[in-house]
Amino acid sequence: MNEPLLPLIGEPGDLYAALDSPNLLLLDLNVPEVYSAGHISGAVNFPFSTLLRPKPPAMGLIAPADQLSDVFSAMGISPDRHVVAYDSEGTGKACRLLWTLDVVGHTKCSLLNGGLPAWCAEGLPVEQTSCDPISSEYKVSVSPKRIADSQYILANLENEDVVVLDCRSQAEYAGLDLRSARGGHIPGAANMDWVLAMDPNNSGRIKPSEELKKILKNLGITEDKEVIVHCQTHHRSSHTYIVLKHLGFEKIRGYDGSWSDWGNDPNLPIEN
C-alpha cells in the first residue's frame, strides 16, 4: 500500500502504465511553446522560474517557503500526490524541481528517465491540449540539511568527510570558460561534467549505476562522504544531485548559489 507509484528514476513505459493513477501528478518543465507543441497526456505546465529567487549575481537561489507554497499549491502538489517531472532539455529543469521537493521533504517524486525525448523515442503518444492544474493547499518549509551556502563550504574545505563535486564543464572548472567575475573552481573540488551521467545513445537516459559509481569512485566520491554539488546556477548540478540520490547517496547537498555566487565573491578562495 505504501509502495511508491514509480521509483525515483522512472522509465517511459512504466509511466505510461501509471497515467490513470489518481495520485499521479505529471509536471512538464518545458517553456509554454514547447509544452503546447506536444506533451504527455495529463501533464501540467510548471513555470520553472517560480522555483528561483535570483539575487544578482547569484541567479539560482531557492525561492522562499511562502513562494514555493503558493506555486506548489497552484500546481496541485500535495503530500499524497506522486510527482513525476520531465522536460526536453536534458532534464535539468525537472531535476531542479525534484531537488526543491527534496528540500521541503516531499518524498513521492520521480524523474522521467531521458525526459520527453525518451518518451517519444518509445513511440508513446503526446497531445497538444493544455491541462489546467487542480489547485491544492500545500504549506512547505525549507530544510537547510539539503542546501549548502558558501560559508558552509568554506567551513568544510579541510573536512575529509565532505567533498565538493563541480558539475560544470572542464573548461569552466579550469577557468577557461569564464561565466563569473573570476574563473576556476572551489579548492579541492572534484569535477564531473553533468552530461557524463547521461547516455547520448539512449535518449539521454541516466547511465547504468555501476558505471556511474566507478566514475564517481575514481573522483573520490563515495557514499560515506557528504557530497556538495554545484554548477553555475544549480541547474545542471540538480541533475547530478538526483543521480547521486538514485545511486544510494544519502548525504547530499545542493549549493544553490553555485559559481555565480562563489565566482563573484572576491573574498572566497579559488583554484585554477
CATH number at residue 210: 3.40.250.10
Residue 1 clears pLDDT 50, i.e. is over it: no
Identify the domain containing residue 82 by its residue range.
9-121
- Return the pLDDT at 2: 61
What's the CA gap between 145 and 252, in Å, rounded? 9
What pTM was estimated for this model as a whole?
A: 0.97
Residues 9-59 have pLDDT tens digits of: 999 999 999 999 999 999 999 999 999 999 999 999 999 999 999 999 999
- Residues 150, 59, single domain; the answer is no
- Residues 109, 156, single domain; the answer is no
- Residues 194, 100, single domain; the answer is no
Residue with cell 539575487: 55
- Provide the annotated active-site residues: 231
How many domains are there within the chain?
Answer: 2
Residue 2 lies in a domain: no
